[in-house]
């Protein structure tokens, strides 16, 4: 079966295709001629995932899913959260986002944070949500060149390296996105 992944983010697409390899053929939006940058105007991570999946379903009637992720920092009362991708301002920039976050945490002892992903799947007209969360700490400086987003400054609990120091296959087993996709795969296989 083919599933459309409602994303234009090449890094996310590669990571999801890797996670679902051998289970489903995951196609990017451009495979159905959709090049729209679907607005993420919801106030929650769940809401943004739903907006993107609903856009594809309503306009193309094709089984699809979308995700939204955010980094929630305890000291910042859950920020940047739903605004993670644009935290450093527009145009979006991973570097600006991480620099702003590190500046906001400068001198802070409480560096606890969690990454959260919500996947919204629409198949047969029914909507299903899957959530993955991983807890960890924000480093004082970036480290590693794998991954994307806040990966260079996030160390998951129980590890001594940032997500950007993990290989994709290793990260996928424990990441927020990986955990949400595992739930998606279990659901799709039933």
> Domain boundaries in the chain?
2-189
Q: Which residues contact 135 (CB under 8 A, 6 or more apart)?
A: 112, 113, 114, 156, 157
Q: What is the pTM of this model?
A: 0.89
Which H or E run contains 43?
none
What share of the chain has pLDDT > 90, as a percent? 75
Instruction: Kindly report, residue by residue over 5-31, the tens digit of the pLDDT.
Output: 998 888 788 878 887 888 788 999 999
Name the token pair of 176: 């927020």
Q: Specify whether 68 is catalytic.
A: yes
Q: Which of 67, 68, 94, 151 is catalytic?
A: 68
- Average pLDDT for 51-76: 96
- Average pLDDT for 49-71: 96
- Output DSSP code: residue 21: T
Instruction: Kindly report, residue by residue over 105-143, the tens digit of the pLDDT.
Output: 999 999 999 999 999 999 999 999 999 999 999 999 999
Sheet-wide strand order for 154-156: 25-28, 2-5, 64-73, 112-123, 126-138, 154-156
2-189 — its CATH code?
3.90.950.10
Instruction: Kindly report, residue by residue over 164-187, the tens digit of the pLDDT.
Output: 999 988 998 899 988 998 999 889
Average per-residue pLDDT in the chain?
Answer: 93
Return d(Cα 141, Cα 172) in angstroms, integer: 23
Phi-psi region of 50 (alpha: psi -120 to 50; beta: other; left: phi over 0): alpha
């Amino acid at each position: 079966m083919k599933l459309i992944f409602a994303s234009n983010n090449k890094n996310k697409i590669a990571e999801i295709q890797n996670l679902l390899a051998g289970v489903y053929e995951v196609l990017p939006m451009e495979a159905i001629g959709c090049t729209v940058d679907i607005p993420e105007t919801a106030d929650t991570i769940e809401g943004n995932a739903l907006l993107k999946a609903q856009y594809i379903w309503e306009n193309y009637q094709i089984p699809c899913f979308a995700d939204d992720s955010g980094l929630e920092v305890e000291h910042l009362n859950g920020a940047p959260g739903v605004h993670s991708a644009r935290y450093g301002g527009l145009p979006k920039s991973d570097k600006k986002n991480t620099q702003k976050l590190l500046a906001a945490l400068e001198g802070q002892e409480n560096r606890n944070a969690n990454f959260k992903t919500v996947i919204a799947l629409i198949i047969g007209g029914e909507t299903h949500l899957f959530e993955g969360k991983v807890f960890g700490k924000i480093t004082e400086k970036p480290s590693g060149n794998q991954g994307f987003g806040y990966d260079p400054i996030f160390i998951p609990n129980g590890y001594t390296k940032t997500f950007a120091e993990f290989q994709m296959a290793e990260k996928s087993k424990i990441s927020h996105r990986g955990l949400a996709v595992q739930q998606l795969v279990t659901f799709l296989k039933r």
